[in-house]
Structure 1
Amino acid sequence: MDFYKVSVIVPVFNASKYISKTLDSIINQDFDSYEIIVVDDGSTDNSLEIIKETLEKTEIPHKIIHQENAGVSVARNVGIDESTGDYLVFIDADDHVTSKHLSTLYNGESDFSLILYVKEDGDRLIDMDTYTEDVISTYDFIRKELNMEITFNFFQLMYRASIIKDNDIRFTPGVVYGEDTEFAHKALSNGKEIVINNEVTYYYVQHSDSAIKSTEYRRFGVIEIFENLADFYNKNNKAELANLIITSRIPKAIFGNMNFFFHNGYDFDEVMAKMKELDLFTKLSRYQGDSKFKLKIRLFLLNPKMYYRTWMRLKNSI
């Protein structure tokens, strides 16, 4: 069996419009010793044909795996199981990377490394967070994320493969929102530090033709993910992180997603009914932290309808 420094895992489902550009960007890396693992998750378009045509032209080691449709989590897990690299990198089928993506991430020493990304929406590029540290402990990084002092996306990271495999960390099948957050948190909690490079090498592509409302209320599913993470941290003697989830991260996620629905025209009564069904009012009331944000929550809980009317009038100013 051949072994490589890095395994690049690409899950694909009906991505025929984008997959050629994605794979070309991975092939054209200024880096040696890496493999490409593409897992086609039962595409019904011609994605698989494009994948084969694109990869047969390259000498970069690669595997093409076709499976019945089982969801992106299962596809990524298959990629992990098939990988032989010392480190793992995940790239989605409609995104693309610069030629320096792997060489910028790889140092061969740290448990994790992280780069910057931008959102690409047509011709518009939207800058995301930068970081003040060059190196940070995984514990401090997680703590800052839970306090929402920083944000990150799982695809910004390069993961030491042994941490993932030895601790049996996988994406949870069937979860439709937040499975990547759960995976990244569990992985990070088993490592020591992250090396950070404030260089943009990943382009996260937004599609204007995708209907926002297609998400329905699955965004609230991230609450269950964070509750599972709180249990995970408690079981691993990290009570401070578990408490931060319950008293900060979950309330902020509820409030942020609720305002997302308001902003995108969802019916007020429908949103309230969904929040009641998921017991989100109780979970929202557990917030402890910034007094200004705590006041917003208190005003909302006192009179949700009045808060909604005021929010719609003033939008994000309250």
Structure 2
Amino acid sequence: MDNIKVSIIVPVYNLSEYIGKTLDSIIYQDFKDFELIVIDDGSADDTLEVINKRLSNSNINHTVIHQENKGVGNARNVGIDASKGEYLVFVDGDDYISGNHLSELYNGKTDFSLIQLVKKDGSTLSNPHHYPTGEISCEEFIRMELNMEIPFNFCQLMYKSSIIKDNNIRFDENTVYGEDTEFALKALAFGDKIAISNEVTYYYIQREDSAIRTSDFRRFEIVSVFENLAEFYRNLGKNDLYDLIITSRIPKAIFGNMNYFFYNDYDFDEVISKMRELDLFEKLSKYKGDKKFEYKIRLFLLNPKIYYKTWKKFKNSI
């Protein structure tokens, strides 16, 4: 692979205000054996000019691909296909990384490695999660995610490129919410070990106009994402992971997103109507696990309106 250890893939769309800082954080990495692939996904502002100016003044190995707007999933897939590195790393065009991001991730041994991420909203930083350090099996990590025992974002990982390419793991280009989680959890199914560091090296910028914040009821797309993932695991003979998704991860995703809409004052009838349209009540009823959480679900299913009124009165106490 041309002796390139890591390929950094950066999709960009109308991010001229942010991409300069993102690129600077990549240019000044203390790890040098990498290539940078930037995919400008049809930006209509001066994003491409900013990219070319920043990179023309650097000496890093880079490729800039300009295409018509096809969405972030497609842009990332184009980056994967163009990559030559032994490992893959993804950085969004409005985020940035610390100077030791690659050196903290790269060990050349494990199939995956992981660092910590913090969310940055203005000048406020979220608290990072602390994992058990060292190495764990990829299947154990998958179970931890499906049980929602860990906060997790796909860009925290470094991926063995051969696992992605040999198993044709790609981003779903028709989904705007959850496609990155699906990508990571599919890839991890083919791995052995994941090395974990508690070093914070990725800064995830919160923007009001981001795709997730403006996707409205499409947040419920995460349900079909996990249904696809469940079938994927079942086809691999991992029936226990299939069951875990159906009886735990999907009901938790439904309930969590429903409460998100309630918390943000969405109209009750609109939320309930959308849930009925997507058959989410039936899927919610399949939950098995924590008795307290199961009790909350039963209260809601028994009478959604009473649950909602009680929730509005007491908020997070139920």
TM-score tier (shorter): over 0.9
CA distance in 2, matches of 1:216, 1:26: 32
How does the TM-score come out when normalised to structure 2? Answer: 0.98
Q: 1:128 offset after TM fit, Å?
A: 3.2
Match of 1:244 in 2: 244
- How do 1:214-293 residues align onto structure 2 when only pairs under 5 Å count? 214-293=214-293
The superposition leaves residues 249-274 of structure 1 with CA deviations (integer Å, 9 ceiling, x where unpaired) of 00000000000000111000000000
Query: How far apart, CA to CA, are the structure 2 residues paired with 1:272 and 1:213?
Result: 20
Which one-letter code corresponds to 1:80 in the other structure?
Answer: I
Q: What amino acid is aligned across from residue 64 of structure 1 in structure 2? A: V
Structure 1 partner of 2:93:
93
Gaps of 5+ in 2: none
| Superposed displacement of residue 130, structure 1 | 1.5
| CA deviation string 1:39-96 (max 9, x = no partner) | 0000111100100000001110000000010000100000000000000000000000
CA deviation map 1:142-190 (0-9, x unaligned): 0111111112100000000000011111001111111101100110001
Render the CA deviation track for 1:105-153: whole Å, top value 9, x for unaligned. 0000000000001000001001132102421100011011111111210
Match of 2:119 in 1: 119
CA distance in 2, matches of 1:83, 1:210: 26
- Which amino acid letter does the alignment assign opposite residue 36 of structure 2? I
1:1-318 to structure 2, matched below 5 A, reads 2-208=2-208, 214-318=214-318
Partners of 2:212 and 2:82 in 1: CA distance: 34
Equivalent position SS for 1:85: coil
**Could you tell me whether the CA contact under 8 Å between 2:177 and 2:221 is conserved in 1?**
yes
> How far 1:194 sits from its partner (Å)?
0.4
Check the 8 A contact 1:121/1:208 in 2, yes or no.
no
Gap change, CA 1:209 and 1:166, over 3 Å in 2:
closer
Once superposed, which parts of structure 1, at least 4 consecutive aligned residues long, lie more than 3 Å away? 208-213
Task: Check conservation: 2:176, 2:212, Cα contact below 8 A.
Answer: no
C-alpha displacement at 1:210, in angstroms?
Answer: 5.9
Give the distance between the partners of 2:296 and 2:308, measured in 1 at CA.
Answer: 11
- The 8 Å contact of residues 212 and 219 in structure 2, kept in 1 or not, is answered as no
Q: How many residues align?
A: 318
Q: Matched residues in 1 for 2:252 and 2:86: separation? A: 36
Q: Secondary structure at the match of 2:17?
A: coil
| 1:158 alignment partner, SS class | strand
The alpha-carbon deviation at position 207 of structure 1 amounts to: 1.9
Superposition deviation, residue 98 in structure 1? 0.3
